Chains A and B, each alone.
Chain A
Amino acid sequence: MTLESILMTLPYITVVVLFSLGLFTVLFKKNLIKIIMGIALMQNGANLFLVSLAYRRGDYAPIFTSAESTDMVMPTAHALTLTSIVIGVATTALLLSFVIMIKKHYGSINTDDVRRCKE
């Protein structure tokens, strides 16, 4: 339980905390905007997980211009994270536009009221 081992696993602990906070918000909150905020938290947790997977001890960031040495982190995971961020933007935009239209039709954005399609 040295300080170094705690520091090395700190990103993963953050990922678990972010993901579970997001999941808690989506499961237990009734306001639709809060549910979308919880989804955004989960997206951030998943992106942080992908970036922190790529780290190798002692390697530098994968930028060639004025690099200290050529021992670099493999940038595949960073590319996956960029794709995921863009997908997150698109889905959040679509979800928010759905919530605006539901407010216009139903008059409230509480999940107890937005359930005309039931059983």
Chain B
Amino acid sequence: MIELVLEDIWSPIVFILVILLTTLVAYLLYKMGNPVYNRTKHKGEPFISGNRPPKDIRKIHVAGDNLFWGFTDALKNYFEPLVKSHTGKLNDYLYWVVITLAVVLVYIYMAV
């Protein structure tokens, strides 16, 4: 008999069945609604609250750099030194190895 439960904690089969059941219920509710999208008439255009999409379609897609701007700007004191310390110089890569070696060796000498 295959074990279906992971360490008596978690059973993915039950979870997937629940998700499928919920998806089925959601689909039935969707089918009872009023379809607005017509595949031949709208041709994959985005829905922007009824306005017409601009000529250059790239204008309405949020670029990758801008998505988490609020988060990174609020924590600027943490992110600025972190990004600056990744300089890309070969000597710095080796500094970090030597510094880690020193710290770990001192700790192992005193504690082990």
Do A and B come into direct contact in the complex, CB within 8 Å? yes
Name which residue of chain B comes closest to A23, CB basis.
B98
> What 1/0 mask marks residues of chain A from 15 to 35 whose CB sits below 8 Å from any chain B CB?
000000001001111101001
A-B pair count, CB < 8 Å, reads: 28
What bracket does the count of chain B residues touching chain A fall in?
10 to 19
Q: Please indicate the chain A residues that have their CB under 8 angstroms from the CB of B95 in the complex.
A: 27
Give the most central of A26, A32, A111, A117: most B CB within 10 Å. A111
Mark B residues whose CB is within 8 Å of A: 83, 86-91, 94-95, 98
Mark A residues whose CB is within 8 Å of B: 23, 26-30, 32, 35, 111-112, 114-119
Taking a contact as CB atoms closer than 8 A, the residue among B83, B86, B88, B90 that contacts A35 in the complex is B90
Question: What's the Cα separation between A23 and B101 when bound, in Å?
Answer: 13
Main secondary structure of the interface of A (DSSP, over half): loop
Taking a contact as CB atoms closer than 8 A, the residue among B87, B91, B94, B98 that contacts A118 in the complex is B87
Give the most central of A23, A27, A117: most B CB within 10 Å. A27
B98 touches A119 (CB 8 A): no
B99 to chain A, nearest CB (A): 11
Name which residue of chain B comes closest to A115, CB basis.
B88
Known contacts A27-B94, A119-B88, then 14 further A-B pairs from the complex at CB < 8 Å, ordered by chain A residue: A26-B94, A28-B91, A29-B91, A30-B91, A32-B90, A35-B90, A111-B90, A115-B87, A115-B88, A117-B88, A118-B86, A118-B87, A119-B83, A119-B86
Question: What's the Cα separation between A112 and B91 when bound, in Å?
Answer: 9
A27 touches B91 (CB 8 A): yes
